Chains A and B, each alone.
Chain A
Amino acid sequence: MLTIRAVGRRFPGGIEALRDVSLRLGAGDFVALLGPSGCGKSTLLRLIAGLDRPDTGALDWDEGHALGPGDAGFVFQDATLLPWATAEDNVFLPLRLRGMSRGRAMPAVRDALAHVGLGGFEGARPRALSGGMRMRVSIARALVTRPRLLLMDEPFAALDEFTRHKLQTDLLALWRELGCTIVFVTHSIYEACFLARRIVLMTPRPGRVTRELASTLAHGPDTRLDPAYAALVAEVSQSMERALEAG
Chain B
Amino acid sequence: MKAAPLLFGLLALIAWEAVVRAADVPPYIVPGPVAIISAFAAAPLSLLAALASTLVVTFVALVVAALLGAILALAMSVSRLAQAAIQPWAVVLQVTPIVAIVPLVIIWVGYLVHSPQLSTLITLVVSATIVAFFPVFANTAEGLASAPPELGDLFRLYGGGRWQTLGLLRLPAALPYFLTGLRISGGLALVGAVVAEFVAGSGGFASGLAYTIQEAGFRLQVPRMFAALVLLSLAGIAINLGLGALARFVLRRRGMA
Contacts and interface: CB of A to CB of B under 8 A. Distances in A.
Interface string A116-139: 000000000111100000000000
7 contacts: A46-B153, A50-B157, A51-B156, A51-B157, A97-B160, A97-B168, A127-B255
Contact of B157 (A69, A96, A128): A69
B254 interface: yes
Contacts of B158: 69-70, 93-94, 97-98, 145
The 9 lowest CB-CB distance pairs between A and B, nearest first, are: A125-B255, A69-B159, A97-B160, A97-B158, A84-B254, A80-B150, A94-B158, A76-B150, A84-B172
B255 A84 contact: yes
B179 to A, nearest CB: 13
A50 B159 CA distance: 11
A78 interface: yes
Given A50-B157, A76-B153, A94-B158, 14 more contacts: A46-B153, A69-B158, A76-B150, A78-B148, A80-B154, A82-B168, A82-B172, A84-B172, A84-B254, A84-B256, A93-B168, A96-B168, A97-B164, A127-B256
Interface of A: 46, 49-51, 69-70, 72, 74, 76, 78, 80, 82-84, 86, 93-94, 96-98, 125-128, 145
B256 to A, nearest CB: 5
Contacts of B150: 76, 78, 80
Interface residues of B, number: 19
Q: Which of B151, B164, B169, B255 has the most CB of A within 10 A?
A: B255
Contacts of A49: 153, 157
B255 A83 contact: yes
A126 B256 CA distance: 9
B16 interface: no
Contact of A74 (B154, B175, B255): B154
Contacts of B205: none
Interface of B: 148, 150-151, 153-160, 164, 168-169, 172, 175, 254-256
Given A82-B169, A84-B254, A97-B164, A72 B157 contact: yes
Contacts of A128: 255
Nearest to B160: A97
B256 A83 contact: yes
Contacts of B169: 82
B151 A80 contact: yes
Contacts of B154: 74, 76, 80, 93-94
Nearest to A72: B157
Contacts of A86: 255
